[in-house]
Every structure is written in C-alpha cells, then in structure tokens.
Chains A and B, each alone.
Chain A
C-alpha cells in the first residue's frame, strides 16, 4: 500500500493545518492573553518601582530552562506531525511521548518554582506583581495541562495508525494548540521576568 504518498496528496488539499475550529481557539486565546498582557503593563506603569523590585525576586533560571523545555517539546511535536504524514506511526507515537515528557517537566519545574517562591513568603497576596505573576503563570499552566491532554489523545490516534484524513487533522489540531502554549510562554516569560 502506497499510503505515504496518498496521505501527502490529500493533506495538500486543505488550506489550514488541523481543522478550522482550532484556529478559533488560537485567535480567541491570543486576544484574551493580549488583553491580560496589556493589563500587566498597565499595572506596571502605575507602580514601576514595586514591579522592578518584585521582578528581581524571581529566579529567571526557572523560566529560562522551562523555555528550552517547551521549545524542545514543540520540536518533538513537529517531528510527530511529519512522521504521521509519512505514515510512520511508531515514530510519531514516540515523538509525542517525548513531547509529553517535556511538557510534564515544565509542570514539575513550575511546581518547584512556585513552592520555592511561596516558601520565601512571596504569595499572591504579597503585592500586585505577585498576584499577576501567579495568575498568569497559573492560567498558562492550565493551558499546558489542556495541551498535554490533547497530546495524549493525539498519541493514541497516531499509535492506531492515523489512516483517516480526519485523524491526521486531529493530530495537527493538537500540535497547533501545543505551539500556542509554547508561543504564549515565549511572550509571558520575558514580560514577567525581564521587561522593565
């Protein structure tokens, strides 16, 4: 069966990766986070000294390692989508497992970071900066968990062969959402940890 060539031809007919519906989520989420980032900048402009001082209390190493972790997992997801397109379901399933393990690492590191900061007495009630720090990273973490669930489903579909065009669209949809999670972090990280 010349499945690989067949897959590629059929996929090329579609105009957007995944299903159009997933882009509703992506654009909607970018809008909401855009508003939230605007809100952060607004509060920062009101209390510049407090925000700068609080920012110095954070440990950028956590954020930096987590950035690399997420970028690595996005790369694994790209590899998985390619493997699915070529009909190599075992490779796709393995790549998705790697992506999920890296996603799990992100969650674990975030938990350690939060616990350390809270142990130092830096909690949401401390000031406006930490209130927003916890809420934004928490909302993002919720996205990571939703994304991990999506990757779990994608891996099941990939392991089962992903023969239908709709199967491949679902895997691409999960991949698109995971890239969104990555993209949001790439904005959130410098904004919360570095921007003065």
Chain B
C-alpha cells in the first residue's frame, strides 16, 4: 500500500511546482511545532495564568478564588492554548512525511507515529476544554471547581504513553535508516529515547498532593514539561532540514523539459521521490 493516487502525466514545470508545494506544506507543518509550544505555554501557562500551577494541595476555597481572578484573561489564554494544540496535527504529519522517506516499503513507523500523535492532540485538547469549563462559572460550589481543576491538570500532564508511541516509532525509524543521507541524524534517536524515559515521572502526580512529585513539583511537572517543550523546537529544526533535503533530491529527479512523465509505475524512482 502507498499513500499516492495514480499520478497524471507531469511535465517538468508541473513536477517542479509540486516539489515546491510539498516542501512549503512541510515547512508550515514544521513551524506549527514552535507555534504549539508558544501558544500552549504562552496562552494556557502565562496568559491563562495556569503556570505557576493552581496547587494540588489548595483547599476548595483557594482554588475557586484563583479561578475568579482575571477570569476573562484566563479564558482568552485557554482559547489560545486550544488553537496551539491543534497545530500539533500538521506538525506530527510533517514528521511522518519525513519518516516515511526512511522506510522504503510500507511506512509503518510513520503511521504509528502519526496515529499516536493524534491521541496526544486529543489528550491535550480535552484538558484545555476542561480548564475552560472550570473557568466558565468560578462562583459555583468551590468543591466542584476543585474537582474540575484536578481533572484538568491530571489529564494535561499525565498521559505520556501515546508520546512514548511517537518517540519510540521515531527512534526506531531513525536507527533503521540506511540511506546514504539519513532523514534524521542518529543522535536524535538517542535524544528521543532519553526524552521518552524522562516523561514517565509525570505518573508520580497521581500519588502526591505536594512536594517535588506533585503536579506543581520539579519531577512531577517541570522536568517532563521542559523536555516535552524542548522536543518541539528541536524537531522543527530537524524536519525543516530534512524537508529541504527531500526537495533537493526531488529536483535532481525532475523529468527533462518537453518530456512528460507517464504513469507512476513506469518511473518508480521519480515517483518515489514525490511520494
């Protein structure tokens, strides 16, 4: 199975236009990774003022009071966070578009990465909506606000397993890449595995209401959040680089002027570069 439809005959100009278009699409996707980090930590974190965190040890009244301060500013920040979270979809897609170049046959790891990524987007989107739900009526019974706040933070910080799915698929693809010019550098595979291990301490937040392992603690939040947040700019850079190399390679395979390329099966090399 491939991800391509049978290609119509392409002349040189149409081919090169397509190379540019596919390159642009992936460039935009790559920058979406930076956009996500900025909007999540800037919108939800700073503008929404959910960093510093509403403490897990706070009494219902304390939590409710925090939610009633600058309520509109919080809502705006959360909306921005919600927009940013959607940007992960084009970003994960750009990563898989590059991963598939390292898989000569069925791009199974690229699919696994993207499928896991969709789940990451979902478990980020839902807590953002829960935060918005909590911010909607801060004057309600304080215990209810506390409950929604707990659900929001737990769901935002805790669900690392789908991220592991992305990172492991990505590092296996990178380790297995035997192209003369690998799509992603080998050190990035080690980096991805290291990040995968460092995300798991987020599990501790379900056990502790205060201290370094709670959701406002060093190991419960700050270390996992820092490695999670830095993965995006690094991958943006690597995807931009890989997409540029892909476009360079595709240009070399362009059909000569005046000689339209027939169906994809007759020129597997050129078609492979486009796919």
Determine the main DSSP class of A at the interface with B: helix
Chain B residues whose C-beta falls within 8 Å of the C-beta of A139 in the assembled complex: 201
Contact A21 B218 (CB under 8 A): no
Number of residues on chain B facing chain A (CB within 8 A): 21
Say whether, besides A36-B219, A135-B219, A142-B200, A19 and B187 are in contact (CB < 8 Å).
yes
Contact A29 B194 (CB under 8 A): yes
Chain B residues whose C-beta falls within 8 Å of the C-beta of A135 in the assembled complex: 201, 204, 213, 219
Contact A131 B189 (CB under 8 A): no
Number of residues on chain A facing chain B (CB within 8 A): 22
Contact A21 B197 (CB under 8 A): no
Contact B201 A21 (CB under 8 A): no
Does any Cβ of B come within 8 Å of A146's Cβ? yes
Chain B residues whose C-beta falls within 8 Å of the C-beta of A24 in the assembled complex: 187, 190-191, 194
Does any Cβ of A come within 8 Å of B28's Cβ? no
Does any Cβ of B come within 8 Å of A128's Cβ? yes
Residue ID in chain B nearest A139 by CB atoms: B201
**A-B CB contacts (within 8 Å), total count:** 47
Q: How far is the CA of A24 from the CA of B198 in the complex (A)?
A: 13
Does any Cβ of A come within 8 Å of B3's Cβ? no
Q: How far is the CA of A21 from the CA of B187 in the complex (A)?
A: 4
Does any Cβ of A come within 8 Å of B55's Cβ? no
Does any Cβ of A come within 8 Å of B237's Cβ? no
Contact B190 A131 (CB under 8 A): no
Contact B197 A146 (CB under 8 A): yes
Contact A142 B197 (CB under 8 A): yes
Question: Nearest Cβ distance between residue B125 and chain A, in whole angstroms?
Answer: 29
Residue ID in chain B nearest A135 by CB atoms: B213
Chain B residues whose C-beta falls within 8 Å of the C-beta of A36 in the assembled complex: 218-219
Say whether, besides A131-B211, A135-B213, A142-B200, A35 and B190 are in contact (CB < 8 Å).
no
Does any Cβ of B come within 8 Å of A25's Cβ? yes
Question: Nearest Cβ distance between residue B161 and chain A, in whole angstroms?
Answer: 14
Chain A residues whose C-beta falls within 8 Å of the C-beta of B189 in the assembled complex: 21
Does any Cβ of A come within 8 Å of B186's Cβ? yes
Closest 4 CB pairs of A and B: A21-B190, A21-B187, A25-B194, A25-B190
User: What are 17 contact pairs spanning A and B, CB under 8 A?
Assistant: A19-B186, A19-B187, A21-B186, A21-B188, A21-B191, A25-B194, A35-B218, A36-B218, A39-B212, A39-B218, A124-B208, A128-B211, A132-B212, A135-B201, A135-B213, A135-B219, A143-B197
Binding site for A on B (CB under 8 A): 186-191, 193-194, 197-198, 200-201, 204, 207-208, 211-213, 218-219, 223
Extra contacts besides A20-B187, A24-B190, A139-B201 (10): CB < 8 Å: A19-B186, A21-B187, A21-B191, A24-B191, A25-B191, A35-B218, A36-B219, A131-B213, A135-B213, A142-B200
